Structure 1
Amino acid sequence: MPREFSKDLYWRIVYLYTDGLSTMDIANTLHMSKGVVNKIKKRYNRWACIINPFKGVPGRRKLFSRRDMTILRGLVREKVDWYLDELIYEMECLIGKRASIATLWRSLQYLGITRKKLQKAALERNEIVRAHYLATIGEHYTRNQLIFIDESAKDERSLSRLYGYSPRNTPA
C-alpha cells in the first residue's frame, strides 16, 4: 500500500486551492496526482479538515485495553514459566475477559514479550550450602575414602518447566 502524504502537504493543497489555482496546476506544482488533489479538496469542502474524520483504526476491535495489557505484562513478569492456558485462566479471573490462546499470544507479541528457554541457577551454586558440605566431608572422611562420580547433568529440578516468557533482550 502506498504511503500517505504528510499533513502539511495536504494543507498546502488547501492553501493553493484557496489562492485560486486549478487542480492540474496544484498537482503539477506539488508533484502528485490529480486524484489526490481532488480527494483533499472534496474532503476540505465537505468537513473543513484534511484528514477523514470517520476513518477508524483498521482491523478488529482489540479485546484487551491498555489497563488489561498492563495487567498481562505484570502477570508475565511475576509468573515467567506459566503456560499460555494458565495465563488465560488467570487473566479471566483478574479482568473477566476470556481470550483464546492465539489472542493472548498476539497480545504478548504486541507487548514485546517472547518465549525463551529459562535460565535456572544450579543448586550447587549456593556458596553457603557448598561450604557446609565441604566442612562436613572434611570432618568425617579422609582423601582416600572419597570416590568422585560425574553428575554434572543431574539437577533435582529437571522435571520443572524449560521455557518461559520475558521482554525482548532480557533473559527469562
Structure 2
Amino acid sequence: MPPRFPDSFLPSVLFMAESGSSVDQIAKELGCCTKTVKRIKHNFKLWQSHQSPPEGRLGRPSKINDAMLVDLLEHLLRHPLADLEDMRSFIYDQFGVIVSASNISRTLKKNSWTKKKIRKNAAERSQALRDDWLLQLSDWTAEQLMFVDESAANEKTGDRKDGWAPVGVTPDESVPAFRSERYSVLLCYTVDGYIACNILRGSFKSDNYAMIIQVVRERSIPGRIQLCVPIIVGLNAFGYLRGEIPTVRE
C-alpha cells in the first residue's frame, strides 16, 4: 500500500494548478507521479472533490420487486415445503413475471431466508385437549401418579457409536454381524420407585399390558387409596389398550 500524502498535499495541488503550473511541474514539486495529479484535477473539475462519488450497484435491476418479495415470503410462511420451481410458478401466477430460480435463491439469501429441516407436527394434535390435560394434571399430587411404560434392549444397546480417529479417517471396529435377542421391560413406577415389573423375550402385546395394569390395581392401589385417589398413566398405551381399560388415562 503506497504511503499517504500529508494533509497539505491536496490544497497544494489545487493551488498550483490554479496558478497555471503544468502537471509535470506539480508532480516534481510535490514528489508524486503525474497520474495522481491528473486524477485529482479531473475529479475536482467534475465533482468538486478530489475523489469520485461512490458508484451504485452495477447491472440491471432485479425482476423481483418489493411487492413480489412480500407476497413470496408470506407464501413461504404458509407453504414452507415449496421449492424454487414452485416459487417461480407462484410469482408468474400472481404477477405474470418470469424469474429464474437463481434470482429467487439470491433474493432469499439476501433477506436471510435459508432452507432448513422441517419440524413435523401431528395433524391430529389438539391444543384444546392438551390444555384440558394440563388442567387436570394441576389438580393431582405426585403421590397419586403411577406411570406404566415399556422399554426394550438387547446386547448391542450399550455399544458405543462414536470413536476417535484422525481428520478424514473413519474409525473401524470388528463386531459380530448376528442380531441378538430383544428383551422388553414393562414396569410401573411412582415417586417412591417401581412397584411392578414384567420382563419377557420379544415384544409386549395388549394382554401383557392389561395384566400388569391389573397387578398394579391389586397390589398398590388398596394401600394408596387411604391417602389419595390413585391415577394410573399409561405412556404410549394407545397401541395396547384400544379402549379395553377405560379407567387408565393414556
Structure 2 CA distance for partners of 1:42 and 1:108, relative to 1, 3 Å: same
Q: Say whether the 8 Å CA contact 1:84–1:104 is kept in structure 2.
A: yes
Structure 1 spans left out of the alignment, 5+ residues: 3-8, 132-140, 152-172
Match of 1:17 among 6, 13, 16: 13
Structure 2 CA distance for partners of 1:144 and 1:13, relative to 1, 3 Å: farther
Asked whether 1:117 is paired with 2:117, we answer: yes
In 1: Cα distance, 2:31 partner to 2:87 partner: 54
- The structure that is strand-richer by fraction is 2
The alignment's TM-score, normalised by the length of structure 1, stands at 0.52
Count of aligned pairs: 130
Question: Which residue of structure 2 aligns with residue 51 of structure 1?
Answer: 52
Cα displacement string for residues 100-128 of structure 1 (whole angstroms, at most 9, x for unaligned residues): 22221121112111111111234686572
- The structure that is helix-richer by fraction is 1
Asked whether 1:68 is paired with 2:63, we answer: no
Q: CA RMSD in A?
A: 4.4
Structure 2 spans left out of the alignment, 5+ residues: 18-25, 134-206, 214-234, 239-250
Q: Say which one has the larger Rg.
A: 2
Q: Say whether the 8 Å CA contact 1:91–1:98 is kept in structure 2.
A: yes
The one-letter amino acid of 2:112's match is G
Higher relative contact order (CA 8 A, sep 6+): 1
Give the 5 Å matches for 1:11-160: 15-20=11-16, 22-23=26-27, 35-49=35-49, 50-51=51-52, 55-122=55-122, 126=126, 128=129, 143-144=210-211
Structure 2 CA distance for partners of 1:126 and 1:70, relative to 1, 3 Å: closer
The alignment's TM-score, normalised by the length of structure 2, stands at 0.38
The one-letter amino acid of 1:67's match is A
> How many percent of aligned residue pairs carry the same amino acid?
17
Q: Say whether the 8 Å CA contact 1:14–1:41 is kept in structure 2.
A: no
